[in-house]
Structure 1
Amino acid sequence: MASSLISFNAQAIAIAHTVCALSAFLVALAVGCSLHYHKIIQNEHYGYPDEWFPSVSATIGDRYPERSIFQILIALTAGPRFLLLFANYLRLYKPNSKLPIIALVTGIVRTVACGGWVYITSTDDHDFHDFSMISYMVLTIPWDVSITLLTPPRSSLRRHRKYTAIAFFAAIVPLIYLFIQHKVKKVPGAYSYYAYFEWSLIFLDVGFDSWSIKDFKDLYIEIRPSTKEDTYFTANFNVKTIEQKLNDKSTTNEKSSDHLLPKSAGTTSLFRGIVDIINSFIFWSVYTSLYLCIWYFPLWHMGISGYEATALSTFSPVFLLIPGAMNFFTSKPQIARFLCCLLGIGSYLVTEPATRLLIISGGVAFGCIALTVEIAAHGRLNNPEATKTYAASFTLGLAMSAVAKFAFWTENPIWPTMNSDTGGWNKTGLAIGLLAALFTSLPDRGVQREEVPPQPSFLLTLLGFASIMFSLSAMLTDSSTIITWTWDGFPVKGPTPVPHGAISLAVMCLGIYIGTLQNSRKTLYAITLHGIVGAVLLYTFRGWVGYVGGMMYTVWLCTMVPVCFEQISRLHKKAAAAFVLSFAVTFVITLMHVWVVAYAFVPGGPLMRERTDIVLGLSVVLLLGLIFNYTAPEINTKRLRPALKKIGNIGLLFSILSGIIAIQRLPVDKPTPYHPDSRILTTGIWTIHFGLDNDMWASQTRMRDALRDLEVDVFGLLESDTERIIMGNRDLTERLAEDLNMYADYGPGPNQHTWGCALLSKFPILNSTHYLMPSPVGELACAIHATLDCYGEPIDVVVFHSGQEEDVEDRHQQSQKLAEIMGSTDRPTILLSYLVTTPLEGNYNTYVSDKSGMHDIDPSDDDRWCEYVLYKKLHRIGYARVSRGTITDTEIQSGKFVIPKHGAPLDEAYSQKRIDESEVSPDMRYPEILRGEGVRGHHYHVFDEPRYFE
Structure 2
Amino acid sequence: MATSRYKDKDGGVVLSFGGQWVSWSHTVVAYLAFLSALIVGSALHYRKIVQNEWYGYPDEWFPSVSATIGDRYPERSIFMIFIAITSGPRFALVGLFYLLTAKPGHTLPKAVAISGLIRTLTCGGWTYITSTDDHDWHDILMISYIVFTIPWTTGCIALSPPNARAIKYRKYLASAFFGTLVPLVYFFIQHKVHRVAGAYTIYAFFEWALILLDVAFDAVTALDFDTFEVVVRDVKGASKGVNTSSMPTAVLEKEKEKATAGVFSAGFRLGEALDIVADVYHGFVFWSILTSLGVVVWYFPLWHMGISGYEALVMSTVTPALLAIRPLRFLIVKNQRVTHLLSLAGLLAYLVENPVYRLFTVGFGVGMSCLGWAATLYSDSVQPARLEARILAWTIGLLMSSVAKFAWYTNNPIWPIMHAANGGWNGTGLVLAILAALRFTRRAPLQGGNPVEDKSGSALLSALGIGGLFFALHSLLSDTSTMILWVWDGYPIRGPVSNVHAWYTIAAMTAGVVAGMSRRALVTTWTAYGVGCLGAALLTLYHRWVGYYGALALAAYLMAISIPLISSASKKNPAVTFGLGFLIYNFLVLFHVWVVAYAFVPGGPLVREHTDWIMITMMLLIGAGVFDLISQQAKSGRKMADRRRAANNNHRKYHLGTLGVLNVLFLCANFLRFPTNDYKPYHANDRLLTAGIWTIHFSLDNDMWSSEYRMRDLIKEMELDVIGLLESDLQRIIMGNRDTTQFLAEDLGMYVDYGPGPNKHTWGAALLSKFPILNSTHHLLPSPVGELAPAIHATLDVYGTAVDVFVFHSGQEEDPEDRRLQSEYLAKLMGSSPRPSILLSYLVTKPLEGNYNTYVSDASGMHDVDETDWDRWCEYILFKGLRRTGYARVSRSTITDTELQVAKFVVPATEEDAVSVWTAPKQLRDRRVPEHEVPEGWRFPGLFRGEGVRGHRYHVFDEPRYYQF
| TM norm structure 2 | 0.69
Q: Provide the secondary structure at the position in 1 that maps to 2:807.
A: strand
1:413 aligns to what? 413
Tell me how far 1:646 sits from its aligned partner.
2.1
SS of 1:377's equivalent in the other structure is helix
What is the CA distance between 1:518 and its match in structure 2?
A: 1.6
Alpha carbons 2:762, 2:788 under 8 Å: kept: yes
1:607 aligns with 2:606: yes
Indicate the residue corresponding to 2:361 in structure 1: 359
Deviation at 1:923, TM superposition (A): 1.0
Per the TM alignment, residue 416 of structure 1 is displaced from its structure 2 partner at its CA by 0.3
The offset of 1:578, in angstroms, is 3.0
- The one-letter amino acid paired with 1:924 is W
Deviations 1:904-924 (A, max 9, x none): 431122422211101011111
SS for the counterpart of 2:525 is helix
User: Residues of 1 paired with 2:308 and 2:812: CA distance?
Assistant: 19
Change beyond 3 A, Cα 1:436–1:920: same
Counterpart for residue 153 of structure 1: none
Deviation at 1:490, TM superposition (A): 0.3
Q: Report matched runs for 1:673-688 at 5 Å.
A: 673-688=681-696
Match of 2:279 in 1: 276
Query: How far 1:270 moved relative to its partner?
Result: 2.3
- Corresponding residue for residue 468 of structure 2: 467
For 1:585-604, list aligned pairs within 5 A: 585-604=584-603
| CA displacement at 1:644 relative to structure 2 | 2.8
- What amino acid sits opposite 1:479 in the alignment? T
RMSD, matched Cα: 1.9
Matches within 5 A, 1:14-413: 269-341=272-344, 343-379=345-381, 381=382, 383-413=383-413
Residue ranges of structure 1 left out of the alignment (5+ in a row): 1-263
Q: 1:522 to 1:847 in 2, by over 3 A?
A: closer
Q: Within 1, Cα distance between the matches of 2:446 and 2:426?
A: 39
Is the contact between residue 747 and residue 757 of structure 1 (CA under 8 Å) also seen in structure 2? yes
Query: 1:794-815: per-residue Cα shift (whole Å, max 9, x none)?
Result: 0000000000001010000000
Correspondence 1:945 to 2:959: yes
Residue of structure 1 aligned with 2:926, choices 893, 906, 912: 912
Amino acid at match of 2:284: F
Is the Cα contact below 8 Å between 2:488 and 2:495 reproduced in 1?
A: yes
Aligned pairs for 1:417-428 (under 5 A) are 417-428=417-428
Contact 1:377-1:442 within 8 A present in 2 as well: no
Question: CA shift at 1:336, angstroms?
Answer: 1.4
- CA shift for structure 1 position 347: 0.6
Deviation at residue 459 of structure 1 after TM alignment: 1.4
Aligned to 1:722: 730
The aligned residue for residue 664 of structure 1 is: 672
1:513–1:647 contact (8 Å) kept in structure 2: no
| Cα distance change, pair 628–638 in 1 and its aligned pair in 2 (3 A) | closer
Q: Tell me the alpha carbon deviations over residues 516-540 of structure 1, each in whole angstroms, 9 at most, x when there is no partner.
A: 1122167633322221111111011
Match of 2:942 in 1: 928
The unaligned stretches of length 5 or more in structure 2 are 1-265, 634-638
1:503 maps to what in 2?
504
Matched, 1:878 2:892: no
SS at match of 1:775: coil
CA shift at 1:312, angstroms? 1.8
Q: Is the 8 A contact 2:463 2:576 kept in 1?
A: no
Secondary structure at 1:623 match in 2:
helix
Structure 2 CA distance for partners of 1:566 and 1:923, relative to 1, 3 Å:
same
User: Which has the greater radius of gyration?
Assistant: 2
Listed one character per residue, the Cα deviations across residues 81-138 of structure 1 (whole Å, up to 9, x for unaligned) are: xxxxxxxxxxxxxxxxxxxxxxxxxxxxxxxxxxxxxxxxxxxxxxxxxxxxxxxxxx
Query: Does the 8 Å CA contact 1:400/1:654 hold for their aligned counterparts?
Result: yes
Determine if contact 2:343/2:369 at 8 Å carries over to the other structure: yes
Are the structure 2 counterparts of residues 501 and 521 from structure 1 closer, same or farther at C-alpha, using a change threshold of 3 Å?
A: closer
User: What residue in structure 1 maps to residue 8 of structure 2?
Assistant: none
Indicate the SS of the match to 1:636.
Answer: helix
Conserved in 2, the CA contact under 8 Å of 1:778 and 1:804?
A: yes
Pick closer, same or farther for the CA change 1:673–1:522 going to 2, 3 Å. closer
Aligned mate of 1:828, from 831, 836, 848: 836
Find the aligned partners of 1:446 and 1:357 in 2 and give their Cα distance.
34
**Distance in 2, Cα, partners of 1:937 & 1:889:** 13
For residue 767 of structure 2, give the secondary structure of its aligned residue in structure 1.
Answer: strand
1:51-75 deviation per Cα after TM superposition (whole angstroms, max 9, x unaligned): xxxxxxxxxxxxxxxxxxxxxxxxx
Matched, 1:783 2:791: yes
Flag the 1:773–1:522 CA change in 2: closer, same or farther, 3 A. Answer: closer
Amino acid at match of 1:797: V
What secondary structure, in the 3-state scheme, does the structure 1 residue paired with 2:480 have?
coil
Bigger mean CA offset, 620-629 vs 803-812: 620-629
Give the whole-Å Cα distance in 2 for the aligned partners of 1:494 and 1:902: 36
CA contact (8 A) 2:862 2:880 kept: yes
Residue of structure 1 in register with 2:804 after alignment: 796
User: What residue identity is the alignment partner of 1:477?
Assistant: S
SS of the residue 1:629 aligns to: helix
- Contact 1:515–1:559 (Cα < 8 Å) also in 2: yes
Q: Following the alignment from structure 2 to structure 1, what is the Cα–Cα distance between the partners of residues 647 and 878?
A: 69
Determine whether 1:695 maps to 2:703. Answer: yes
Deviations 1:385-416 (A, max 9, x none): 33333211111101111111100000001000
Supply the AA of the counterpart residue of 1:912: D
Q: 1:306 to 1:444 in 2, by over 3 A?
A: closer
- 2:626 maps to which residue? 627
The alpha-carbon distance between structure 1 residues 644 and 870, as it changes in their structure 2 partners (threshold 3 A), is same
Contact 2:752–2:768 (8 Å) recurs in 1? yes
Given that residues 889 and 954 in structure 2 are in contact (C-alpha distance below 8 angstroms), is that contact kept between their aligned partners in structure 1? Answer: yes
How far apart are 1:641 and its partner, in Å? 5.2
Query: What is the SS of the residue equivalent to 1:795?
Result: strand
Which amino acid counterpart does residue 793 of structure 1 have in structure 2? T
Contact 1:279–1:337 (Cα < 8 Å) also in 2: no
Q: Aligned-pair distance for 1:618?
A: 0.4
| Aligned amino acid, residue 525 of structure 2 | L
Q: How many residues align?
A: 679
Matched residue, 1:646: 654
- Mapped to 2, the partners of 1:360 and 1:710 lie a distance apart of 36
Amino acid at match of 1:320: L
Q: Distance in 2 between matches of 1:806 and 1:413?
A: 38
Change (3 A) 1:776 1:638: closer
1:534/1:551 contact within 8 Å kept: yes
TM-aligned CA deviation for residue 677 of structure 1 = 0.4
Secondary structure of the corresponding residue to residue 693 of structure 1 = coil
Percent identical across equivalent pairs?
A: 48
Q: Give SS of 1:696's match.
A: coil
What letter corresponds to residue 709 of structure 1 in structure 2? E
- Structure 1 distance, partners of 2:657, 2:645, is 17
Post-superposition CA distance 1:441-498 (Å, at most 9, x none) = 37678999xx996521121110100111111110011010010001000000111111
Amino acid in the other structure paired with 2:617 = L
CA contact (8 A) 1:374 1:442 kept: no
The offset of 1:330, in angstroms, is 1.8
The question of whether the paired residues in 1 share the 8 Å contact of 2:891 and 2:900 is answered with yes
Kept in 1: contact 2:516–2:523 (CA 8 A): no
Equivalent residues of 1:338, 1:434 under 8 A apart: yes
* Secondary structure class of the residue paired with 1:424: coil
Q: In 1, distance between residues paired with 2:339 and 2:531?
A: 37
